[in-house]
Amino acid sequence: MVHAPVHIPAEAPPAFLGVSRSATGRLWRDRLDLRGANRALAIAQRYQMPEMLARVLAGRGVELDAVEDFLDPTLRKLMPDPYRLTQMEAATTRIADAIVAGEKVAIFGDYDVDGATSAALLAWHLRRCGLDPLIYIPDRIFEGYGPNVEAIRKLAEGGATLLVTVDCGTTSVEPFAEARRLGMGIVVIDHHQCGDELPPVDALVNPNRPDDLSGLGHLAAVGLVLVTLVALNRELRARGFWSDMRPEPDLLSQLHHVALGTVADVALLVGLNRAFVAKGLIALRRRDHVGHTALMDVARLSGPPEAWHLGFMLGPRVNAGGRIGRADLGVRLLLESDPSEAARIAAELDRLNQERRLIEQHAEAEAEAEALAALGAEDKGAVIVTASQGWHPGVVGLVAARLKEKFARPAFAIALEPGGIGTGSGRSISGVDLGRAVREAVHDGILIKGGGHAMAAGVTLSKDKLGEFRAYIEARLADDVARARHVNEILIDGAVSARAVTPDFINMLNRAAPFGNGNPEPVVALPDHQLVYAEEVANAHVRVRLKAGDGAVVNGIAFRAVGQKLGHALKDNRGQPIHVAGSLAIDRWQGSERAQLRVIDVAVPDPGPAHIR
């Protein structure tokens, strides 16, 4: 099929470069309003920094007096008193009692990266306290999310007298009742949203419980575990537990775990999380942790690790064990001290990740076809709900994420089992609280169980309730989705030319890193650059080359653009001048470095001069 060249009309500001509707149908807008632009100027002048970096900082809400702390976030300044968290003192006391008494402690973690890193961090600490904890990671398919009665009984049979759950447990009323009956103490360290009923436990540390005023709801579970261990070290110090023979564990040496879990769980990179990830990346660069080093090697990570490597290269491999392999492989790798064994486990996780990709691609194609049929030519519908009996339950969250990205609305993918039960995952867009809607569906009897965050949720339902769930979630979220999708725009941090795009320029912008959720990567626009090359490469990407009027050239890539509006626009405008928006990265290959533009949108300029705000 031949597509006509895409011409997008441009208009005067506030559209950046005059782009009011791009190839993907979006408005380009300057991230900075007049007040923000003035703050950027003040930052540049006071701190003698390049204008573009000052614009990036101002665009992320950094005030004039907070610049130095933002550029160098430290745990010393940002670590709160752990006792600000509700029931933290009770949790610390109970765990310390178990350590001093030499109790058998069981750690129950979630099967994702946040759960694996949380369990590994807690187990590492308990081992240095002289304990040998049991570690239990449930099977995603056969056991599902969170503690279950059978697992509790197994741990009790193994001698556990204290159960500590990490990244799960907030809603586990029935399993914990069984644990109580078996005489086990229970401490929960979790960050998932709470229902009305809290489980019967010794302590539930969760900054998202209604009575917690700590302001730490943005922490991933692994971050909460670290804060808990800060309090635990302090409590054991007060009890005189540490000695020359048993030195206090150095928590800073384990920030690799905290960085990986935080980024992989898409936690907001603000406040304490920024310090966790920034310092954790420094720790990863030292390559002094056996498990993480094996993971970086098998992922063929070249150059110093950045936050996006954790989210797109390391995290998926740890996750692969929980999705389609042995759920405990990730924890085992992170606790392994032998390099040969670590390399073996990492290789197995890499193999499982490749297998996961193939399974995911098949399910994604089916789900996309179902979504297109449901939305119709009018593109109607606030929420996408897809389901199939042939999908692997371990990839439905990834499929839902792809649907959400492609169709710009909340999406669910549900794997239907032969017995008539479906298990699935949903992913949301900014401004739409999916977790709350799912909990309400459970309360109203439409779902068997479900819960999660604002941006992600898990569901279990009977197959004969699928249609009712579709109608319920559509009605429940229609207004929220309409409001969230009303503004379809890209925020631009500034305009640059190909000649300015160098590794040094990118390193300068990276002073504002780590980038991720809550601290987005800078987006730059290249005005009126000739698209001299655009060809499809593996995995549906489009590789491009752009040339400025002075002859300078920059290479770029548009990920997963083939068959999408962006891919068509790049193909149809080869040889033509275009405006291009994207983020910048350093492409490392065989010891050399070059700048690369990750293309996210394009627009064909008006014949007249471009407007830059």
Tens-digit pLDDT profile for residues 492-533: 999 999 999 999 999 999 999 999 989 999 999 999 999 999
pLDDT for 543 equals 97
Question: How far apart (Å, rounded) are the C-alpha atoms in residues 29 and 7?
Answer: 18
Output the DSSP codes for 223-266.
HHHHHHHHHHHHHHHHTT---SSSPPP-GGGGHHHHHHHHHHTT
Within 8 A by CB and 6+ apart from 228, the residues are: 82, 88, 91, 92, 95, 189, 205
Question: How far apart (Å, rounded) are the C-alpha atoms in residues 485 and 513?
Answer: 28
DSSP 145: S
Does residue 497 or residue 613 have the better pLDDT? 497
User: 467 burial class (0-12, 13-18, 19+ CB within 10 angstroms)?
Assistant: exposed
What burial letters (b/e) apply to 428-451, b meaning 16+ CB within 10 Å? bbeebbbbbbbbebbeeebbebbb
pLDDT (average), residues 599-606: 94
pLDDT (average), residues 411-430: 93
185 beta partners: 162
Structure-block tokens of residue 602: 């394009």
Structure-block tokens of residue 544: 């491009």
pLDDT (average), residues 118-135: 98
Within 8 A by CB and 6+ apart from 101, the residues are: none
Check whether the bond before 9 is cis (ω within 30° of 0): no
Question: How far apart (Å, rounded) are the C-alpha atoms in residues 215 and 38?
Answer: 30
Q: Is the dihedral of CA 91, 93, 94, 100 positive or negative?
A: positive
End-to-end CA distance of the chain: 38
Q: Is residue 135 helix, strand or coil?
A: strand
Q: Which of 172-186, 233-247, 473-487 has the lowest mean pLDDT?
A: 473-487
C-alpha distances in angstroms, 76 versus 84, 220, 272?
A: 16, 19, 10
Residue 198 zone, left/alpha/beta (φ > 0; ψ -120 to 50; rest): beta
Q: Which helix (H) or strand (E) holds 478?
A: helix 466-486
pLDDT for 539 equals 80
Output the DSSP codes for 351-387.
HHHHHHHHHHHHHHHHHHHHHHHHHTTTT--S-EEEE
pLDDT for 278 equals 97
pLDDT (average), residues 136-156: 92
pLDDT (average), residues 473-487: 89
Rounded to 5°, the CA angle 251-254-259 comes to 120
Question: How far apart (Å, rounded) are the C-alpha atoms in residues 460 and 598?
Answer: 37
pLDDT for 326 equals 86
pLDDT bracket for residue 589 (50, 70, 90): confident
The mean predicted confidence, pLDDT, of the chain is 93
Using one digit for the tens of pLDDT, what is the confidence trace for 337-371?
999 999 999 999 999 999 999 999 999 999 999 99
Using one digit for the tens of pLDDT, what is the confidence trace for 243-286?
999 999 999 999 999 999 999 998 999 999 999 999 999 999 99
Within 8 A by CB and 6+ apart from 553, the residues are: 498, 532, 545, 546, 547
pLDDT > 90? residue 557: yes
Cβ-contact 532, 546 below 8 angstroms: yes
pLDDT (average), residues 413-430: 92
Q: What is the four-CA torsion angle of 556, 558, 562, 568, rounded to 10 degrees? A: -80
pLDDT (average), residues 461-490: 92
Q: Which of 107-116, 353-362, 374-383, 566-575 has the lowest mean pLDDT?
A: 374-383
pLDDT for 608 equals 57
Q: Is residue 341 helix, strand or coil?
A: helix
pTM of this structure: 0.90
Question: How far apart (Å, rounded) are the C-alpha atoms in residues 251 and 216?
Answer: 19
pLDDT for 480 equals 93
Question: How far apart (Å, rounded) are the C-alpha atoms in residues 89 and 561?
Answer: 51
Question: How far apart (Å, rounded) are the C-alpha atoms in residues 40 and 24?
Answer: 29
Q: Please give, one letter per residue, the 3-state secondary structure of 75-128.
A: HHHHCCCHHHCCCHHHHHHHHHHHHHHCCCEEEEECCCHHHHHHHHHHHHHHHH
Question: How far apart (Å, rounded) are the C-alpha atoms in residues 318 and 264?
Answer: 10
For the beta carbon of residue 533, count every other beta carbon within 10 angstroms: 17
Lookup result for tokens 């009923």: 197
pLDDT for 609 equals 52
pLDDT (average), residues 381-393: 94
Structure-block tokens of residue 306: 């950045």
- In the chain the domains, ranked by start, together with CATH numbers, are 1-31+493-613 (2.40.50.140), 77-351 (3.90.1640.30), 381-488 (3.10.310.30)
pLDDT bracket for residue 611 (50, 70, 90): very low
Q: Is the dihedral of CA 282, 286, 287, 290 positive or negative?
A: negative
DSSP 23: T
Structure-block tokens of residue 205: 């540390």
pLDDT > 50? residue 13: no
Cβ-contact 283, 293 below 8 angstroms: no
Check whether the bond before 14 is cis (ω within 30° of 0): yes
pLDDT for 4 equals 43
pLDDT > 90? residue 305: yes
